[in-house]
């Protein structure tokens, strides 16, 4: 995180609490972290906090645009503090490891729908699924693939103009 968590909260007019600061720090320290892991980190830092309070804080931070939530299929929701750059993710099918990859174009939506059917599209959610280098090394029996298979999962979100 580039800025001080307390300052970030203040800038948005959000009440600064020890819990919120600890949650922001936890997300910042471990990108693509689960709510459970955030709860563990917060407990280690400031003591008891309920999982519900962690979810509440995360939900608020996501709504305020300070935290981004991604939900790979088959995984718990993951949280990160890299926001606003429309970056995408590489996800390993074997071990679930998630890493960032810059947006191919640089701005959302970076993919044109073949037919937008009248929707005003503002985002294409892209996840590249495959196997990470570590998992490729583990399974030598398999044929060496010339290139990792990439699958794009696109979820178009629309916004209606009133
Ligand atoms: Zn892996
Ligand atoms: Zn990310």
Print the domain residue range for 134. 84-158
Q: Could you tell me if residue 147 is inside a domain? A: yes
Q: How far is the CA of 98 from the centre of ligand 1 (A)?
A: 9
Ligand nearest to the CA of 88: 2
Interval 140-155: pLDDT, tens = 655 555 444 444 444 4
Identify whether residues 92 and 153 lie together within a single domain.
Answer: yes
Domain boundary among 70, 97, 122: 70
Identify whether residues 120 and 145 lie together within a single domain.
Answer: yes
Q: Could you tell me if residue 75 is inside a domain? A: no
Q: Could you tell me if residue 54 is inside a domain? A: yes
Q: Could you tell me if residue 78 is inside a domain? A: no
Ligand nearest to the CA of 130: 1
Identify whether residues 62 and 119 lie together within a single domain.
Answer: no
Share of the chain above pLDDT 90, in %: 67
Backbone φ/ψ region at 108: left (φ over 0), alpha (ψ -120 to 50), beta: beta
**Cβ neighbours of residue 33 closer than 8 Å, sequence gap 6 or more:** 26, 27, 41, 78, 79, 80
Identify whether residues 30 and 89 lie together within a single domain.
Answer: no
Identify whether residues 43 and 91 lie together within a single domain.
Answer: no
Q: How far is the CA of 96 from the centre of ligand 1 (A)?
A: 6
Q: Could you tell me if residue 96 is inside a domain? A: yes
Domain boundary among 70, 92, 125: 70
CA distances from 86 to 53, 90, 107 (A): 28, 14, 6
Interval 21-66: pLDDT, tens = 999 999 999 999 999 999 999 999 999 999 999 999 999 999 999 9
Identify whether residues 88 and 33 lie together within a single domain.
Answer: no
Q: How far is the CA of 162 from the centre of ligand 2 (A)?
A: 32
**Cβ neighbours of residue 99 closer than 8 Å, sequence gap 6 or more:** 32, 89, 90, 132
Q: Could you tell me if residue 20 is inside a domain? A: yes
Please say whether the beta carbons of 159 and 116 come within 8 A: no
- pTM as predicted: 0.78
- The 3-class SS string of the chain reads CCCCHHHHHHHCCCCCCHHHHHHHHHHHHCCCEEHHHHHHHHHHHHCCCCHHHHHHHHHHHHHCCCCEEECCCCCCCEEECCCCCCCEEEEECCCCCEEEECCCCCCCCCCCCCCCCCCCEEEECCEEEECCHHHHHHCCCCCCCCCCCCCECCCEEECCCC
Q: How far is the CA of 133 from the centre of ligand 1 (A)?
A: 7
Among 14, 102, 1, which Cα is nearest to 59's? 14
Q: Which residue has the higher pLDDT, 158 or 137?
A: 137
Q: What's the domain count of the chain?
A: 2
């Amino acid at each position: 995180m580039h800025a001080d968590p307390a300052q970030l909260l203040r800038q948005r007019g959000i009440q600064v609490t020890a819990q919120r600061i600890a949650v922001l720090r936890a997300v910042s320290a471990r990108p693509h972290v689960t709510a459970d892991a955030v709860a563990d980190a917060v407990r280690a830092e400031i003591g008891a906090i309920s999982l519900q309070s962690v979810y509440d804080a995360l939900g608020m931070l996501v709504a305020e645009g300070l935290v981004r939530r991604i939900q790979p299929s088959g995984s718990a929701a993951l949280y990160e503090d890299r926001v606003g750059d429309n970056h995408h993710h590489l996800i390993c099918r074997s071990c679930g490891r998630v890493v960032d990859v810059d947006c191919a174009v640089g701005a959302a939506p970076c993919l044109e729908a073949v037919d937008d059917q009248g929707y005003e599209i503002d985002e294409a959610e892209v996840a590249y699924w495959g196997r990470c280098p570590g998992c490729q090394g583990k399974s030598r029996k398999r044929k060496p693939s010339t290139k990792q298979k990439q699958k794009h999962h696109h979820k178009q979100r629309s916004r209606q103009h009133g």
